[in-house]
A and B are shown apart, each in its own frame.
Chain A
Amino acid sequence: MLTQIKTWLDERIGIKTIFQEQVLDYRMPKNSNILYTLGFLAVIAFATQVFTGIILMIYYIPHPDHAFRSVQDIMTRVPYGWLFRQMHAVGSNLMIMVAMLHMATVFLMGNYKRPRELTWVGGGLLLILTIVFGLSGYLLPWTQLSYWATTVVTSIPATFPVFGETISQILRGGDHVSETTLSRFFALHISILPPLYLLLLGIHLFFVNRIGISATPFGKVDEEKRPLTEYIRKTHPDGYPYYPRFFQKQMYMMMAFFTVMFFIITFLPTLYFPDEANVPADPFNTPQEIRPAWYLIANYQLLKLIPNKFFGIVLQINLVFIFILWPFLDTQQEKNVMKRPVLRGVFFTLIALWVVLFWWGRA
């Protein structure tokens, strides 16, 4: 039966050739390691979010009068609503973590270098989109935590002279976070960001496939010969076939991802839900501690430390630019980070700084 379908499709779209080229004959570099599966994990995480998000949308009501109660109902009255809500909440945090790990490992392995600059740029933009997803989704349950964290974040552009206030107004749809804000964040979260994200993801994956998988600089050296004057797709004739070995690696990493997700849901269900996340939003009552989500705490702390706020924000924007455009700034041929002590030092110092700011901001 299956073979009949395969033949039918093959007669029309040549599916057997596609399968042969992309799966059976596709070769992974000899020295590729488990970290190469992180990109795939990010896609799986995104797919989980889309799936659980659509399910939640069936019962969620995006208006301040009903939002909190609808989420309550999902958690308490709808059968297995709690399961999908927890998956969505935990999944969003895991996705950001996976994306960050993917970014860090690509950086360390120098896989952003020529000719893969655009892949890195696409990836950086995807990370930003993911964080915007997180920010817009944060408001939706309309809890004290949501409301006030959103208030803080939407007021940050106001530091800019001239048009800063206008930007804040547009983000919020007014002077304060209100039902207008909720509506536009909801629209952003479910209808504007997903197609943008999918488009960018498609481009990013196209680049990965078209340019070819890069080999790690560790172990036997595999150099991209310079100068690169014409397009050559990178292949690994001495590598191992994608299927079954690498495919299996992707599969068990996916299992590991879900194991972590359900570990958190089982043993740490309140990890992402402090007390303010269980109380409906009250525009007249500010909680003592307003903090953004964990992935923004380091940035938040840095902003708090720098006395001149405009400079603080400008600094962060510039850091983002540097991060996204890094392949154009670091044009050295050497891919092996073990042979580049300065870069290594800078990278780990930055990570350490991030962690320090994170702990400080949490205290």
Chain B
Amino acid sequence: MKCGGMMKRRRFLTMLLTFLGSITSLSFAYSLLTFLTSLPSKSADLKKLVIHKSDIPSGEAKNIIYHNAPAVIINRPDKGYIAFSRTCTHLGCLVEYSKSKLKFICPCHAGIYDLDGNVVSGPPPKPLTAIPLKIEDETIIIG
């Protein structure tokens, strides 16, 4: 027969245990639930970049910032406007447009892309990421 003091102590400790156990389990359950139900946010800043056609003559390219990352829009002599991320798909250096060669060149490991973004030579494993753009009259809307 447990004496009164022991019983009270035991009751108290058990209650404390249950309390702590519930807090811990609930915290875990909450983290797990948030983990499982979080959906990737639709691209945070839907800011579209607007450029005038006149800013980019034929054969020229313009460096821009799109979604916090460096990008380039180029007016190809034969096929018109196209925009790419300037991040080289090899190790992330920034590619530069060479007007004389009509190619994009990465200075880090001499990767070369053509004006469709496809790899012509060098180590890049994938083509440059294209950025969608729309042309409306005299303006180009990027994004």
A touching B, CB within 8 angstroms? yes
Chain B, Cβ-Cβ closest to A65: B125
Q: Is A84 in contact with chain B by the CB < 8 A criterion?
A: yes
User: When chains A and B are docked, how far (Å) is the Cα of A35 from the Cα of B104?
Assistant: 66
Chain A, Cβ-Cβ closest to B91: A282
CB–CB B31/A78 < 8 A: no
DSSP class of A's interface residues: helix, strand, loop or mixed? loop
Find chain B residues with CB under 8 A from A80 CB. 31-32, 34-35
Find chain B residues with CB under 8 A from A77 CB. 40
Which residues from 1 to 47 on chain B have a C-beta closer than 8 Å to any C-beta of chain A?
Answer: 31-32, 34-36, 38, 40
Chain B, Cβ-Cβ closest to A81: B35
CB–CB B32/A78 < 8 A: no
DSSP class of B's interface residues: helix, strand, loop or mixed? helix
User: When chains A and B are docked, how far (Å) is the Cα of A290 from the Cα of B25?
Assistant: 40
Q: Quick one: which of B35, B38, B40 contacts A84, CB cutoff 8 A?
A: B35
Find chain A residues with CB under 8 A from B38 CB. 78-79
Find chain A residues with CB under 8 A from B40 CB. 77
**How close is A83's CB to chain B, nearest CB, in angstroms?**
6
Q: Is A58 in contact with chain B by the CB < 8 A criterion?
A: yes
**How close is A70's CB to chain B, nearest CB, in angstroms?**
12
Most buried by B among A78, A80, A84: A80
Chain A, Cβ-Cβ closest to B36: A58
**How close is A251's CB to chain B, nearest CB, in angstroms?**
9
**How close is A245's CB to chain B, nearest CB, in angstroms?**
14
**How close is B101's CB to chain A, nearest CB, in angstroms?**
26
Which residues from 79 to 102 on chain A have a C-beta closer than 8 Å to any C-beta of chain B?
Answer: 79-81, 83-84
User: When chains A and B are docked, how far (Å) is the Cα of A356 from the Cα of B90?
Assistant: 43
User: When chains A and B are docked, how far (Å) is the Cα of A79 from the Cα of B34?
Assistant: 6
CB–CB B31/A83 < 8 A: yes
User: When chains A and B are docked, how far (Å) is the Cα of A78 from the Cα of B40?
Assistant: 8
Q: Is A320 in contact with chain B by the CB < 8 A criterion?
A: no
Find chain A residues with CB under 8 A from B34 CB. 79-80
Q: Is A55 in contact with chain B by the CB < 8 A criterion?
A: yes
User: When chains A and B are docked, how far (Å) is the Cα of A21 from the Cα of B17?
Assistant: 27
Find chain B residues with CB under 8 A from A58 CB. 35-36
**How close is B46's CB to chain A, nearest CB, in angstroms?**
18
Chain B, Cβ-Cβ closest to A74: B35
**How close is B85's CB to chain A, nearest CB, in angstroms?**
15
**How close is A309's CB to chain B, nearest CB, in angstroms?**
35
Find chain B residues with CB under 8 A from A81 CB. 35
Which residues from 91 to 138 on chain A have a C-beta closer than 8 Å to any C-beta of chain B?
Answer: none
Find chain A residues with CB under 8 A from B36 CB. 55, 58
User: When chains A and B are docked, how far (Å) is the Cα of A84 from the Cα of B29?
Assistant: 12
User: When chains A and B are docked, how far (Å) is the Cα of A83 from the Cα of B31?
Assistant: 9
User: When chains A and B are docked, how far (Å) is the Cα of A78 from the Cα of B36?
Assistant: 9
Which positions in B face A, CB cutoff 8 Å? 31-32, 34-36, 38, 40
Q: What 5 A-B pairs are tightest by C-beta distance, nearest first?
A: A80-B31, A79-B34, A80-B35, A79-B38, A83-B31
